[in-house]
Amino acid sequence: MNREKIDLTISIVVFNNYEQVMETVESIERETSNKISKKVYLIDNSSSLNVFNLEELKKYNDVMVIKNDYNFGFAKAHNVVIPNLNSKYHAIVNPDISLNEDSFSKIIDFMVDDRIGMVIPKIVNVDGSQQYDYRQDITLLDVIIRVFNGKIFKKRYRYHTMQNYNYAKPFLVPFGQGSFLVIRTDLFRSLNGFDERFFMYLEDADLCKRVNQVSKLIYFPNTTVLHRWERKSHKNLRMFIIHLESLLKYFKKWGIKFL
């Protein structure tokens, strides 16, 4: 049976960060126009000791919680919702994002141009400074430079993170960091979502690369979202190892380029 399409679906993967997720959901509900029909999926990868308080979510009739039996990882958890998607656009949103304006309405209006397959908006830090979540294709040199937080080969680091671009205008993005992406749902489904071989990290780079093979990922400057970013792989040995494993999978899939 065909279901009537809604404007927007949103998936947010949760792992033991309930209060942070509530801030994100509340900002989406507060800022998004009621003219946009939407469904918000919260995919809970948390342990059984860290389940949501569902009573608090009942005030939002367009929010659905999906509880996984174990930690599926980022890619597989986002893909869980694909069979349920009956929207024109689908947003991939991190649980540490906040909206301060009706970003989805602006992005959807921008995506009337059907040459655009996916959009990443202007993303800023808590202090309002620009986050450089827009990158060139990944090379081995760029990985080495990022290990040192851009402290070596600074010119190359600025090139890779696209810092020399004019952020007042739209431009093509080879790799947009996956904290906030809006993609055409039909495109997301046709690509089979994220590659589930990536447990966490680089699944966004892989998706962007596949999107750009058949469509375009475009930076959209006319709306701003806040990202309360924690660089966990730089602070946690286990996350760092997972990051390295994902890099190996990425290079095995797409080949290694030094420059």
Reference 99, options 243, 228, 11, 256; nearest CA is 228
Alpha-carbon distance 72 to 79, whole Å?
10
pLDDT at residue 239, rounded to an integer: 85
Q: Let me know if residue 186 belongs to a domain.
A: yes
pTM above 0.85, yes or no: yes
Q: Let me know if residue 144 belongs to a domain.
A: yes
How big is the CA angle at 121 (ends 125 and 223), to the nearest 5 degrees?
A: 85
Q: Which helix (H) or strand (E) holds 7?
A: strand 6-14
Q: Let me know if residue 80 belongs to a domain.
A: yes
Q: Let me know if residue 1 belongs to a domain.
A: no
Residues of the chain with pLDDT under 50: 1, 233
Alpha-carbon distance 98 to 127, whole Å?
13
Residues contacting residue 221 through CB under 8 Å, at least 6 positions apart? 121, 122, 167, 168, 169, 170
Residue in the structure block whose two tokens are 């890779």: 160
Distances (CA, A) of 29 to 98, 100, 118, 239: 11, 11, 22, 31
Q: Let me know if residue 59 belongs to a domain.
A: yes
Judge whether 121 and 225 are in contact, CB under 8 Å.
yes
Give the DSSP letter of residue 169: S
- CATH number of the structural domain spanning residue 213: 3.90.550.10
Q: Let me know if residue 196 belongs to a domain.
A: yes
Q: Which domain holds residue 231?
A: 6-254
Q: Let me know if residue 259 belongs to a domain.
A: no
pLDDT at residue 49, rounded to an integer: 59
Q: Let me know if residue 130 belongs to a domain.
A: yes
Judge whether 226 and 126 are in contact, CB under 8 Å.
yes
Burial state string for 203-242 with b = 16 or more CB within 10 A and e = fewer than 16:
bbbbbbbbbbeebebbbbeebbbbbebeeebeeeeeeeeb
pLDDT at residue 1, rounded to an integer: 43
Q: Return the axis-axis angle of helices 237-254 and 203-214, rounded to nearest 10°.
A: 30
pLDDT at residue 236, rounded to an integer: 77
Nearest-10 Cα torsion for 106, 74, 62, 107 = 10
How many structural domains compose the chain?
A: 1
- Reported as a single tens digit per residue, the pLDDT across 217-232 is 999 999 999 999 765 5
pLDDT at residue 151, rounded to an integer: 78
In percent, the amount of the chain with pLDDT more than 90 equals: 76
